[in-house]
Each structure stands twice: as C-alpha cells, then as structure tokens.
A = this chain, B = another copy of it.
C-alpha cells in the first residue's frame, strides 16, 4: 500500500512502483490498469512514474520483463525437484509454465495476451527470448526440432491460458494430486517421438 515517506525524494521509487504496479495489475487486470492508481498505491504524485518509466507503456514493459524472469524461475523450481533426465526436466518446465499462469494470471496475460507492453524494447525482448531459448534447448535435449518445440509450447501454453482463465473445469476441479497426474499426461502427449 501507500508507503510512508518522510523525505521529498522517495529513495527507491522505481522498485516501489514496480511492486505497486503488480498489485494494481492483480487487482484491476491489464485492461483496467491505471497509472494514477499505481502512483497512489506507492504514495506518490500521479506524475512521479513518468520520470522512471516514461509512460504507462514503459512501466508495463518493465513489469512484463520482470514477469519473464519469474516465469523462468517458476520453471526452475519444478525442475530442481524433478528427475534430471531430459524428458522429466521438460515435463517439469511445462508444469512450471502452468504454475506461473495460475499463480499470476494477470501478469501472465500481460506477457502473452496484451499489446500494452512494448515487445520491441531490448530488455523485454531479451527476457522473452531467454524463456523461449530455455524451451528450445530442453526440446533439443530430447531430440526434437523446432516443430517439436512448437508442439510442446502450444500444449503447455494452451493448458496454462485456459486454466488461468477458469476454463477446463474438468481439470480445474480435480484434487491437487490427480490434477498433477493429468497435467503430466497431457503435457507428455506433445513430446517428440510419439507421432
């Protein structure tokens, strides 16, 4: 919320605005996202963000870039607990993909279903590309080409997007453990070497 601040200068406004922006995104969604509301959350004037991010698009671009880092982190968390065999690692990454979408649906939508961030921005572009490289490398480890990567990506993304939007109720309403098993089965259908 509105952080108290004795000094005229904030000290770490940039980071505080990013935090506030994510809260705002989570609360209002990408479409109703308000820059002035973010400023209010950070306890700062409505024009303060401009100095650090230029405009609303700049702030959302930075937030999306940070999102891609956390996206990879969510996959890494799953990978660390999984069997080190390449196929198991790929499955784990897919589960991390879905985890991220369900835990942070608004951020996920900002990254994959919005025109508001500037995807030509070097920082965001590099972050998004790193995520794709990770997928491509993992698919290569199990002997797949670019089409195989598309297969795995599409399945993971479809599950993530639909689940985070509350569809696929048949899967969504399953108890935790059963849902994991079903997701693993679905993800692995898209793996190479099954055609």
Contacts and interface: CB of A to CB of B under 8 A. Distances in A.
Interface of A: 29-32, 109, 112-116, 146-147, 149-151, 153-159, 161-162, 165, 167-168, 170-171, 182, 185-186, 189-190, 194-195
Contact of A156 (B30, B115, B156, B158): B158
A143 to B, nearest CB: 16
Main DSSP-derived SS at the A contact region = helix
A171 B150 contact: yes
Contacts of A150: 159, 162, 168, 170-171, 182, 186
Number of copies: 2
6 contacts: A31-B116, A113-B161, A147-B171, A150-B182, A151-B189, A154-B155
A32 B30 CA distance: 11
Given A150-B170, A171-B150, A112 B161 contact: yes
A109 B114 CA distance: 9
B113 A113 contact: yes
Contacts of A154: 155, 158-159, 162, 168, 186
Contacts of A185: 147, 195
Contacts of A31: 30-31, 114-116
Contacts of A158: 153-159, 161
Contacts of A151: 186, 189
A194 B195 CA distance: 9
A165 B112 contact: yes
Nearest to A182: B147
A128 B151 CA distance: 26
A164 B113 CA distance: 10
Contacts of A165: 112-113
A141 to B, nearest CB: 18
Contacts of A146: 170
